[in-house]
Amino acid sequence: MKTDLTINGKAHALEADTRVTLLDALRNHLGLTGSKKGCDHGQCGACTVLVNGRRINSCLTLACMHDGDEITTIEGLGTPDALSAMQAAFVSHDGFQCGYCTPGQICSATAMLAEVHDGWPSHVTDDITAHAELTDPEIAERMSGNLCRCSAYPNIVDAIREVANNATKEAAE
């Protein structure tokens, strides 16, 4: 089946079986191996990508369901010479050890900050009618779908907090 996808700003006409997941399409058909396969059943978040700006576990969705969609993978957030703010913060805060979970963490954190910006509450938000403060428990809850076997969580939270604080400062200027 043919599926038209825009991935990291580039059009792709994917020819694949209807049973191929988005993760396998990215990795095995299109050569975009930044998104990782940890569990292949929605438990670890290593495969997180953005679909039309929202984070999604790409192992839990079929590629053919995304005809016409815009997909962003870790390769599309930044490049080695021009890292995104979140990528740079993960480097400067040492937010990884083996790095296997890192593409999913960074894609997830990038979309998570957009969710906070849009006023989405989380399970630990006390007042769901107010704009949530991005406290450490809020970050932990909102990132709870992304597991790290190396347990780099404190540094991951530091990196996310820095990007969130910088965005707040820039908005105030």
Residues that bind ligand FES (CB under 6 A): 37-40, 42-47, 57, 59, 96-102, 148-150, 152
Tell me whether residue 37 or residue 142 sits nearer to ligand FES (CB atom): 37
Per the CB < 8 A criterion, the answer to whether 36 and 19 are in contact is no
Tell me whether residue 43 or residue 165 sits nearer to ligand FES (CB atom): 43
CA distance 16 to 21: 10
170: number of Cβ within 10 Å = 9
Tell me whether residue 102 or residue 125 sits nearer to ligand FES (CB atom): 102
Which tokens is 11 given?
């059009």
CA distance 64 to 157: 34
Q: How far is the CB of 89 from ligand FES (least distance, A)?
A: 15
Tell me whether residue 106 or residue 132 sits nearer to ligand FES (CB atom): 106
Q: Residue 50 belongs to what H/E stretch?
A: strand 48-51
Q: How far is the CB of 48 from ligand FES (least distance, A)?
A: 7
Q: How far is the CB of 38 from ligand FES (least distance, A)?
A: 4
